[in-house]
Amino acid sequence: MNRRQYDGKQAQVQRCCRAPGGNNGSGSTSVFGPAIIFEGKEEAVCSQVASAAQRRLGRGNGTNQPGAVALAIDPGRLAGLAAQIPRGSVLVTGSNGKGTTCRMLAEVMLAAGLHPMLNHEGSNQLPGLTATLLARSRLSGQLPRDERAIGLFEVDEGFLPAILPQIARPRAVMITNIFRDQLDRYQEPDLVTGMLERVLRKLPAETTLVLNADDPRLAYLAAELKNPRLYSGIADTRPAGLVPTPAPILLAARDAAANSATGASSTLS
């Protein structure tokens, strides 16, 4: 099968998998779109075939395409798989350091006796997360039962609004940092910060927010939310004598700001 034939077959499968009129004959629909004829077993088979075909044709390592096929068959497939993880999921997003953070958290979870499920390949968008869970599922479309399993997923910050509706009740959302990164996709950091605040406001009140205290864009992100908060940062371990003392003018400015906030007047000399 050459590439043109492969692309044609893929389009044909996606068309045929959808039920006529947007339902499966029972008239049922889901919040993610029309109900689909195929069930989990067929999805798993189609996704595995797509992954093998992608690798054989030299079009990547097959970490995204299975998820794309499954989502074409059932747009809510990730939600169905994520709901089967007994300990829920933790999402890690931000501009940089997501993969490294996930690997460190995985070691902590393993030491605590948990079995973290990671998207090791770095496919951190919606099809990639779906493919990660499909790769762990049986041909029945169900994940193996493991009471100690917990999802630990690196998430592209631009895809967080699309992923959170499918992982609707994450245990925690960690944001590493926000930098001027991939300007063609995300433009200015302030736009990304605003997008993240809108997304966080839709989280359940019990989801813990883990924020970078050293990033001023994140330290007070969506400060009005009542969600539990934890902060990460780099501790200053230098001896006290080696820590630079703030210049007097900076100390005076700090005191002036504090006095102004309480209604007192202060003059810098």
Beta bridge partners of 149: 115
Residues 21 and 134 in one domain: no
> Domain boundary at 77, 110, 125, which?
77
Residues 145 and 181 in one domain: yes
Instruction: Answer whether residue 95 is part of any domain.
Output: yes
Of the two residues 215 and 237, the one the predictor is more confident about is 215
The pLDDT assigned to 243 comes to 53
- pLDDT band for 8, please (50, 70, 90 cuts): low
Buried b (16+ CB within 10 A) or exposed e, 53-88: bbeeeeeeebbbbbbbbbbbbbbbbbbbbbebbebb
- pLDDT of the residue at 179: 83
70 falls within a domain: yes
Where is the domain boundary, 43, 77, 111? 77
Asked if residue 190 and residue 144 are part of one domain, the reply reads yes
Higher model confidence: residue 238 or residue 161? 161
Share of the chain above pLDDT 90, in %: 40
- Residue 174 and residue 107 share a domain: yes
Asked if 65 and 131 count as a contact pair (C-beta separation under 8 A), the reply is yes
Of the two residues 264 and 257, the one the predictor is more confident about is: 257
Both structure tokens of 64: 């995204």
CATH number of the domain bearing residue 143: 3.40.1190.10
Domain extent for 41:
3-77
Identity of the highest mean pLDDT range in 30-39, 188-197, 233-242 = 188-197
Quick check: 259 pLDDT over 80? no
- Same domain assignment for residues 43 and 112: no
- Pick 114 or 35 by higher pLDDT: 114
pLDDT digits (tens, 9 = 90+) for 90-115: 999 998 999 999 999 999 999 999 99
Q: Are residues 92 and 225 in the same domain?
A: yes
Same domain, 91 and 215: yes
Cα distance between residue 212 and residue 105, in whole Å: 15
Q: Does residue 85 sit in the same domain as residue 16?
A: no
267 found inside a domain: no
- Average pLDDT for residues 57-77, to the nearest whole number? 74
Question: Region 194-200: what's the mean pLDDT?
Answer: 93
Q: Does residue 69 fall inside a structural domain?
A: yes
Higher pLDDT: 11 or 23? It is 11
Residue 209's pLDDT is 96
Residues 42 and 102 in one domain: no
The least confident of 77-81, 187-191, 227-231, 261-265 is 261-265
Query: Does 87 have pLDDT greater than 60?
Result: yes
Does the structure show a pLDDT above 80 at 37? no
- Return the amino acid letter for 63: T
Please give the pLDDT value at position 121.
66
**Does one domain contain both 83 and 73?**
no
Q: How would you classify the pairing of strands 149-154 and 172-175?
A: unpaired
